[in-house]
Amino acid sequence: MTDTPPGDLDYLTRFVCTGSEDGCFNVLEKPDFINKTPCLSYFLTKETGLVAIRRLRRIFNHKSFVSKDPLLFSLAKIIRTTPVTDTHREDKVRQDAYSLVENVCETADDLFTFVDFDKKVSGSEKVGWGKGMRKLVHRWYESKPPYVLASTATRCKSARGWSHRDLVRQCHIPPGRKSKGTSLVVNYLVSGKKEIEKFEDCEEEDVKEIKVFLQALEMLNASNPEEKEIVRALIEKNKLLDRQIPSKLYKIVETYEGMLGHISLEDLFRCIPKMALMGMLDKTAHQSALVIERISNTEAIKDQGVNPMIILAALRKYTANRCKRWVRNSLLIKALQAAFDTSVQLLPKLIGSSMLIAVHLEGEGRKKLHVKGATYVTPAIASAHLIKFMHQTDVVPSHVFFSDRVQDLQINEKTPLVQILEALENCKIEEANFDLADPIRWAKQKKAKYEHILIITDLKKVTSAQEFQESIRQYRSELAVPDCKVAVVGLSDLTTAVADKTDLNLLEVSGLGETVLHLLLRFFKGDLNFDVDGDADCAEGAAASV
């Protein structure tokens, strides 16, 4: 941490990486970016726009973001509101921005999101498309192999008030000039199944393949839940997923049976509570063996980089069995636990970092508190798992519990999860009198130097945000750890704000969701830090690859 205050490029980076310029991430908030991105105003010129795009490209290449939405919004803002000072042919800001948008929009949902942001930042209900936007949409459909386009586009048929029909018509460019296969797919997206008949006599292999695929979609749409064998065969043979399958068919076992062989592991874990409810995971059910076989594939878990938070959600929901509608399968629980352990081992390592983990949990009167974004765990269970996740480091972390005083937790990086949870439960007290700054003051008093400090609490309580921030500044200054990173995770409190916009080494998280774990690890590893030289290198590399 230097004495130089953060600049607009720093705020832009934090906005794109976390969704907020202020260093606050709320798992349940659907932010309205329109009036919350003052940093973007600085980048609406030719020179600064190019700087911003280089930074955005680097962030995208490193995948250092929680969601693509802030990235797509920033690009839409730059494209739509940067003054046009040159001819379109020489408008390098928009050329570079559209080039990056093309890379970022990997799915149809991404494309719909960008188009929606483009309309919103224009500030007008009726907004026309320029040549760059029409070319972007046209290339999205034309650049993909026809079968890939058919699969990708039908997995997300519409979103944010836009459909494929809207986009194809709005771009005013005749579709399908690249190949007959692309022409068939685009015409189908615009006009429906009648377009398939127009290609009956075409003998090109890619067209034949696409016709079979689209006809399968139409057959599935016309099916009803009673036609179980047909549904399963169509899904399995054509590897159908998501909105390619009508919602009415998700009520039958055969739909999930058809997906078992090709659904991604993360989506399979998400489906486990639903499959259990349908009896598919009982010990006597033949489907349970197939599910256990897939989730026991260690190499597949590693290859797909499965998020441990997703497995944890499946494990907790299945074992909790709140609706009492299934008998727990011990073999499945064992497989889920093994998959979870494997995914945890894949987490990025915080090499060479000294860390303080401080936890506060309220007393018995607060047992009804829910973790926002993860209601399947209590604050104590969530805290225990976060501690275990942070043990992916080569140094021994310090652990404390704080309430009316700060006390050592008798755990270490080898302590089993059950014992961590027991240690936390034993520390809880009825009358809590605490301040989030207490662990910081304790570390300063002990003259204990930490590169990272993680504060986990069910409720966020401070005398004032300014006093909390001042405690951090004093700790860094007096112990000569200017770059000490401090993250505060409020599991049940989404309202209290303690972040300091001017402190890039302070992160506040409210709630716990699938993305929180990797956000914390990126923050502590420094993966949210980008320098100007790196942006220049990135730009040169991108130019060389074109």
Render the burial of 494-509: b for 16+ CB within 10 Å, e for the rest: bebbbbbeebbbbbbb
Would you state the pLDDT for residue 288?
97
Would you state the pLDDT for residue 3?
62
Would you state the pLDDT for residue 264?
97
Bridge partners, residue 357, by sequence: 399, 454
Would you state the pLDDT for residue 542?
40
pLDDT in tens, 45-54: 888 999 999 9
Alpha-carbon gap, residue 255 to 123, rounded angstroms: 43
Q: For residue 85, count other CB atoms closer than 10 A to its CB.
A: 10
Cα three-residue angle 257-328-307, rounded to 5 degrees? 65
Structural contact between residues 80 and 128, judged by C-beta atoms closer than 8 angstroms: no
SS3 399: strand
Look up tokens 């989730």; give the residue.
295
- Positive or negative, the CA dihedral 40, 43, 44, 49 is negative
Cα three-residue angle 255-259-260, rounded to 5 degrees? 115
Two structure tokens written together for 167: 């986009």
pLDDT in tens, 265-274: 999 999 999 9
Look up tokens 């006390």; give the residue.
407
> Alpha helix locations (H) across 162-242?
164-170, 180-191, 194-197, 205-222, 228-238
Mean pLDDT, each 10-residue run in order, the chain (546 residues)? 78 95 90 84 90 96 94 96 69 93 97 95 77 93 94 96 94 73 93 91 90 96 95 97 95 97 97 96 95 97 97 96 88 97 91 90 67 92 95 85 92 92 83 88 96 94 94 97 96 89 96 95 90 50 36
